[in-house]
């Protein structure tokens, strides 16, 4: 679509005004992904692999939708018929999950306190508008703690990205999603590096794999990958 001369004029004027205002950070492009380019590349490849299997996609802990947009732009190209479920509190961590990190997992430093206080400036409306801005219609967002959400029993997933950082919600997400995963499908658990403020994700994955007799890989330093045998 070609913009008219007036549209180009107003667009330029607004952007120049923003540049010279305190709103400059909102104008300039900033890399906002929580994943490196190499990690995004691996996520994309894993999505392609999973999309060959029956079932929907889901992301537990979608925050403002950065990775949701990325993966859905890819789905537009490879599997446009897939549904995509996006869950988040849209208000940051749950108090009981944070208390568990502090009281049971010893995350009590000042740096831990900052990390456990992130992601609270968010809104499901912002998320939904972000999808609309990017022309994405297959995503349904649910504002809920994963512990409180029951997937309809007939739901089937081929791909799940669990990105909730802490032990309790990762444990809950794995328990809920694994039975719904189609054989040949896979789960990616973010933050599986050891000795890290968010290493509760890794602990939940290790325990889940041991209980179910599964093995997992950790790729690109932090993406845990659990495959359901075909
Ligand atoms: C690291 S961010 C997710 C980033 C997102 N996947 C992306 O790549 O842009 C973690 C998200 O998990 C959400 N979260 C934390 N605990 C949760 C819980 N118990 N249930 C649902 N969402 C939770 C937070 O609100 C936050 O938005």
The pLDDT score that the predictor gives to residue 194 is 87
Please spell the DSSP secondary structure of 75-120, one letter per residue: HHHH-TT--EEEEE-SS-S-HHHHHHHHHTS---SHHHHHHTT-S-
What is the predicted pLDDT for the residue at 3? 82
Q: Which atom of ligand 1 is nearest to the CA of 88?
A: 22
Give the Å distance between the CA of 163 and the centre of ligand 1. Answer: 6
pLDDT at residue 87, as a whole number: 98
Number of structural domains found in the chain = 2
210 and 121 together in one domain: yes
Pair (101, 204) in one structural domain:
yes
Res 2 pLDDT > 90: no
Let me know whether 109 and 149 are in one domain: yes
Average per-residue pLDDT for the chain: 96
Are both 12 and 66 inside the same structural domain? no
Rounded mean pLDDT, 22-27: 94
Question: What is the distance in A from the centroid of ligand 1 to the CA of 22?
Answer: 28
Q: Are residues 18 and 120 in the same domain?
A: no
Are 25 and 37 in the same domain? Answer: no
How far is the centre of ligand 1, averaged over its atoms, from the C-alpha of 120 (Å)? 10
Q: Whole domain around residue 75: which residue ranges?
A: 33-227
pLDDT for the residue 86: 98
Asked if residue 62 has its Cβ within 6 Å of ligand 1, the reply is yes
pLDDT at residue 55 in the model: 98
- Which CATH number do you get for residue 216? 3.40.50.150
Shared domain check, 119 and 9: no
pLDDT for res 142: 98
**Residue among 192, 203, 119, 211 at smallest CA distance from 168:** 203
Q: What is the mean pLDDT of residues 40-59?
A: 98
Quick check: 96 pLDDT over 90? yes
**Quick one: 70 and 159 in the same domain?**
yes
Q: Write the CB contacts of 72 (distance below 8 Å, at least 6 apart in sequence).
A: 84, 131, 134, 136, 138, 139
Average pLDDT over residues 88-105: 98
Same domain, 45 and 1: no
Structure tokens at 94: 């749950």
26 and 41 together in one domain: no
Task: Report the share of the chain in percent with pLDDT over 90.
Answer: 97
Q: What is the mean pLDDT of residues 198-226?
A: 96
* DSSP helix, strand, coil percent of the chain (3-state; round to 5): 45, 15, 40
| H-run or E-run covering 51 | helix 37-51
pLDDT for residue 195: 86
pTM summary value: 0.95
Which residue's CA is the nearest one to ligand 1's atom 26? Answer: 63
Any atom of ligand 1 within 6 Å of the Cβ of 34 = yes
80 and 22 within one domain: no
Q: Ligand 1, from 42, 47, 61: best to mutate by most atoms within 8 Å of Cβ?
A: 61
Q: Is the model's pLDDT at 37 over the cut of 90?
A: yes
Give the list of residues 6+ apart from residue 195 with CB closer than 8 angstroms, or none: none
> Are 171 and 118 within one domain?
yes
């Amino acid at each position: 679509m070609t913009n008219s001369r007036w549209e180009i004029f107003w667009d330029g004027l607004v952007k120049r005004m923003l540049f010279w205002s305190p709103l400059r950070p909102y104008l300039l492009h900033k890399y906002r992904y929580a994943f490196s380019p190499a990690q995004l590349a691996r996520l994309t490849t894993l999505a392609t692999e999973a999309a060959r299997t029956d079932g929907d996609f889901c992301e537990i802990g979608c925050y403002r939708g950065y990775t949701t947009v990325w993966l859905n732009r890819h789905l537009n190209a490879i599997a446009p018929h897939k549904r995509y479920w996006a869950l988040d509190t849209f208000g940051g961590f749950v108090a009981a999950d944070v208390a568990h990190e502090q009281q049971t997992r010893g995350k009590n430093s000042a740096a831990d306190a900052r990390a456990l206080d992130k992601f609270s400036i968010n809104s499901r409306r912002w998320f939904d508008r972000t999808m609309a801005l990017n022309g994405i219609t297959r995503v349904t967002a649910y504002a809920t703690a994963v512990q409180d959400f029951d997937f309809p029993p007939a739901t089937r997933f081929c791909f799940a990205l669990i990105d909730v950082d802490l032990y309790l919600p990762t444990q809950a997400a794995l328990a809920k999603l694994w039975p719904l995963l189609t054989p040949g499908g896979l789960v990616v658990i973010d933050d599986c590096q050891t000795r890290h403020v968010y290493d509760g994700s890794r602990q939940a994955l290790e325990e889940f794999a041991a209980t179910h007799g599964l093995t997992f890989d950790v790729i690109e330093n932090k993406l845990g990958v659990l495959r359901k045998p075909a």
